[in-house]
């Protein structure tokens, strides 16, 4: 792919992007409630001469058409989180209890910037529907040194599952434990037993996480309740491992309930399920080579798989097309280097979903915008 010289003109639009990013950051909205965000995106696309189409409640799609040839799908997530911001930024969230704590505002701004650059340098047109893409791309800001792009073939984000487990006992007065089946004790034994899944049932070298994030039961010190609720979260890089873990969880819970004398079967409710993000080898190789050809030495780095999860891969999977997903460094590079040397990265560098997570605007915004364009042109440039 020839080096896209028009990317050198990005300086002329970075002020627009910086202002846009700060506006999105000031006005975060939770998932499926991003009405103002969606309206702003639609307005910006209209200013670029592009017609957008609504999908789902707040999603938008737009097409830059350039005749026959490959089609590239690029996605940016737009939702914020129920987190109270504690960054001290002069463009902090103005919405109480809601914050762009995962960098999705950066994703929106970078993709809009890429759309503007591509739209001004391709023969643009309009279409009323999305053509079937040949490849799909997405990126995410991470607590890595700003000015870097990290890529990896294969699993790059874990599959994620949340499970609500309800176990049943027999309640009574706290002074009469002999008349009960105590669900508090039952839940406690289950929590302890679940810890053995990863340590004793998952092969060493395979990745898995089983976390009990909440255990809820009872309301008074002198009442033994009749049920308990556990909330679990699972993370895996291999769907076979995932299936075995789920089977183990259900086996352990049912076994402990039987041992406790529970007279009602436990219930399992699976929710917030996210697929494995598993980069296609060829798609990742093409993107990585394009990045290495365009960016200076040291910018492109190998990525480590992250234990975060998201639903981007559902889009290319629905089209049955390959995809590549990469990471954009967003932490102050000097602070990151010092923290790495001191071994305090995990404590000194705010991570995604932290109340103090705040991507460094420059050069993160420029790198993220260029990465979107370079990735697209790795296909369209053919």
Judge whether residue 126 has pLDDT over 60. no
Judge whether residue 54 has pLDDT over 50. yes
Mean per-residue pLDDT over the chain, rounded: 95
Instruction: Give me 26's structure tokens.
Output: 């000031």
Judge whether residue 125 has pLDDT over 50. no
97 vs 66, more confident: 97
pLDDT for res 129: 41
Q: Decide: helix, strand or coil at residue 115.
A: helix
CB 143, CB 330: distance < 8 Å: yes
**Per mean pLDDT, which range of 102-116, 117-131, 264-278 is the poorest?**
117-131
Handedness of CA 153, 119, 45, 360 (dihedral sign): positive
pLDDT for res 69: 87
pLDDT for res 6: 85
pLDDT for res 121: 83
- For domain 159-274, which CATH number applies: 3.30.70.360, 3.40.50.880, 3.80.10.10, 3.10.20.30? 3.30.70.360
pLDDT for res 258: 98
pLDDT for res 130: 63
Judge whether residue 338 has pLDDT over 60. yes
The reply to whether 5-155+276-380 and 159-274 are identical in fold is no
pLDDT for res 3: 67
Mean pLDDT within 194-201: 98
pLDDT for res 382: 54
Instruction: Give me 252's structure tokens.
Output: 């352990």
DSSP states of 32-82: T--HHHHHHHHHHHHHTT--EEEETTTEEEE----SSS--EEEE----BBS
| 289-315 per-position pLDDT tens digit | 999 999 999 999 999 999 999 999 999
Judge whether residue 377 has pLDDT over 80. yes
Query: Under CATH, to which class is 5-155+276-380 assigned?
Result: alpha beta
* Separation between Cα atoms, residue 354 and residue 81, nearest integer Å: 10
**Per mean pLDDT, which range of 66-80, 224-238, 246-260 is the poorest?**
66-80
- Beta partners for residue 34, in sequence order: none
Mean pLDDT within 309-326: 95
pLDDT for res 56: 87
Judge whether residue 2 has pLDDT over 70. no
Percent of the chain with pLDDT strictly greater than 90: 92
**Which among 100, 97, 93, 30 is positioned nearest to 58, based on CA atoms?**
30
Domain ranges in the chain are 5-155+276-380, 159-274
Integer angstrom CA distances of residue 147 from 60, 100, 325, 328, 334: 29, 21, 17, 8, 11
CB 129, CB 215: distance < 8 Å: no
pLDDT for res 128: 36
């Amino acid at each position: 792919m020839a080096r896209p010289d028009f990317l050198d003109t990005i300086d002329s639009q970075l002020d627009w992007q910086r202002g846009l990013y700060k506006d999105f950051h000031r006005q975060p909205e939770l998932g499926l409630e991003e009405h103002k965000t969606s309206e702003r995106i639609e307005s910006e696309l209209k200013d670029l001469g592009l017609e957008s189409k609504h999908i789902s409640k707040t999603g938008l799609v737009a097409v830059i058409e350039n005749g026959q040839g490959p089609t590239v799908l690029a996605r940016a997530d737009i939702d914020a989180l129920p987190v109270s911001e504690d960054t001290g930024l002069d463009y902090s969230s103005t919405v109480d209890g809601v914050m762009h704590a995962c960098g999705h505002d950066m994703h929106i701004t970078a993709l809009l910037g890429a759309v503007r650059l591509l739209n001004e340098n391709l023969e643009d047109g309009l279409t009323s529907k999305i053509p079937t893409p040949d490849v799909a791309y997405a990126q995410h800001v991470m607590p890595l040194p700003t000015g870097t792009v990290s890529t990896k073939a294969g699993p790059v984000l874990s599959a994620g599952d949340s499970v609500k487990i309800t176990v049943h006992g027999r309640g009574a007065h706290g002074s009469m434990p002999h008349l009960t089946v105590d669900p508090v004790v039952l839940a406690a034994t289950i929590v302890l037993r679940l810890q053995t899944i990863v340590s004793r049932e998952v092969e060493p070298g395979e990745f898995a996480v089983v976390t009990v994030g909440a255990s809820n039961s009872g309301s008074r010190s002198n009442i033994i309740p009749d049920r308990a609720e556990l909330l679990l979260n699972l993370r895996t890089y291999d769907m076979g491992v995932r299936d075995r873990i789920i089977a183990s969880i259900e086996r352990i819970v049912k076994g402990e309930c039987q041992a406790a004398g529970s007279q009602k079967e436990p219930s399992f409710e699976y929710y917030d399920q996210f697929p494995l993000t598993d980069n296609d080898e060829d798609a990742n190789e093409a993107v990585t080579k394009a990045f290495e050809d365009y960016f200076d030495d040291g910018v492109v780095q190998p990525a480590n798989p992250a234990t975060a999860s998201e639903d981007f891969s559902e889009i290319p999977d629905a089209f049955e097309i390959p995809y590549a997903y990469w990471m954009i460094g967003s932490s102050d590079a000097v602070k990151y280097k010092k923290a790495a040397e001191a071994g305090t990265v995990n404590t000194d560098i705010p991570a995604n979903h932290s109340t103090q997570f705040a991507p460094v605007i420059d050069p993160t915004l420029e790198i993220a915008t260029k990465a979107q364009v370079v990735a697209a042109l790795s296909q369209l440039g053919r």
